[in-house]
Structure 1
């Protein structure tokens, strides 16, 4: 295989929190020493419906001069910056909408105020749904990262869920049955 692709290099990257290893494939022949990763790139599911995300990926991918790894690095950097700005803007928008809805609720009730309140509630639901999707994926990432082995973390989560869902008995007017 080395004769067919003399410039390529394959290595594994171990992580302390998992019993799985990532495979690092260099197609450009540059052998890099992999240190334990400080951070990694992951695509958040909540980005999929965002036009700005698509535009960033499209802009970076159109550049034919950059290698695959350079493109991924640029996308990681640009999407990370975009996500931070997007989340802080979403938090401001959520506060603004909640304040606006409260002012409408406390003010006089008119057809116009009811319609404005309805639209603001729809907008607030949209902002909160995006935030919920972000946190849902973050919690799954933590579960996959910390619970992928037959570990104490996994057993504590499973047993905690069983204890939470356990019905000790039924209480009626006559007492505990």
Structure 2
């Protein structure tokens, strides 16, 4: 660990902080054996801080692994829009994981006795219509599961809570399997290109210091958090006014009585007497 800390210091890396739950690792499905710790962290150099001043690091919900994913958002709210309209019909393999997909195909195929091309065209229309409603149901289902997972993760780890937590994680795992199939189909056209065209960045240290010194939230005396600028300014002003305001001490002798003497009375008399010229001369020489 000493070598690890030395490497972090030599590379001038700093903790990126986090948003969300306080822990990143959890073990044990029963309250008697449940352990939670923050084992996973994000570290970055000053040049990275300067390059991405509006970043956020969020602890996401974890379902498959004991460790929760850490999502680093380098773009903030200026990222590209994800609203893409697909033209034509494209089959998604994750539809096979839906319980009602086979029923939709069977009903559409047996609805007419036309030739195969006509049946395929009719099937495409029916599946596209079904898919539009499927996206909304998936989003609602995932949102409900994520909300419930967050509530259970912050609750006291009792046996009933951990049992329900396991069921919710299994349901989210199925949703993740559907997403994984979706992206596996598109893996051939989504390879990241190695390297970056922008090989040199000239960013001042001021940007790094501004991000590092920025306060995103403050804790009140009652333990609650505040993230609005005006409210944080009021909390900081009140805190420092109380901190630097002199308070009258009722009886300072009570403090002195708690201090244990470390020198004798004779030593105290010797230390407090007038300094002689000979003592000054010996000290200087």
* Mapped partners of 1:119, 1:56: distance in 2: 28
What's 2:103 paired with? 55
Q: Does the CA contact (< 8 Å) of 1:94 and 1:128 recur in 2? A: no
1:90 aligns with 2:134: no
Listed one character per residue, the Cα deviations across residues 68-90 of structure 1 (whole Å, up to 9, x for unaligned) are 22211211111112122112211
After superposition, the C-alpha distances for 1:94-120 in whole angstroms (9 at most, x for unaligned) are 111111011112222210000000110
8 Å Cα contact 2:97/2:178 also seen in 1: no
- How many positions carry a matched residue from both structures? 111
Long gaps (5+) in structure 1: 1-37, 145-156, 165-177
| Cα deviation code 1:38-95 (max 9, x no counterpart) | 9332221112233322112211222353232221121111111212211221111111
Gaps of 5+ in 2: 1-85, 197-285
The 1:139–1:84 alpha-carbon spacing in structure 2 relative to 1, beyond 3 Å, is farther
Per-residue deviation, 1:139: 4.9
Q: Greater share of helix residues, 1 or 2?
A: 1
Match of 1:68 among 113, 116, 136: 116
Q: Please say which structure displays the higher CA radius of gyration.
A: 2
Mapping for residues 1-177 of structure 1, pairs under 5 Å:
39-140=87-188, 143=189, 160-161=193-194, 163=195
Are the aligned partners of 1:60 and 1:75 in contact in 2 as well (CA < 8 Å)?
yes
- TM-score normalised by structure 2 residue count: 0.35
Secondary structure at the counterpart of residue 97 of structure 2: coil
TM-score of the superposed pair, with normalisation by structure 1? 0.54
- Cα RMSD between the aligned structures? 2.5
Segments of 4+ moved more than 3 angstroms:
none
8 Å CA contact retained: 2:142, 2:175: yes
**Residues 108, 81 of structure 1: CA spacing in aligned structure 2 closer, same or farther, 3 A cutoff?**
same
Q: Secondary structure at the match of 2:157?
A: coil
**How many angstroms apart in 2 are the aligned matches of 1:117 and 1:67?**
50
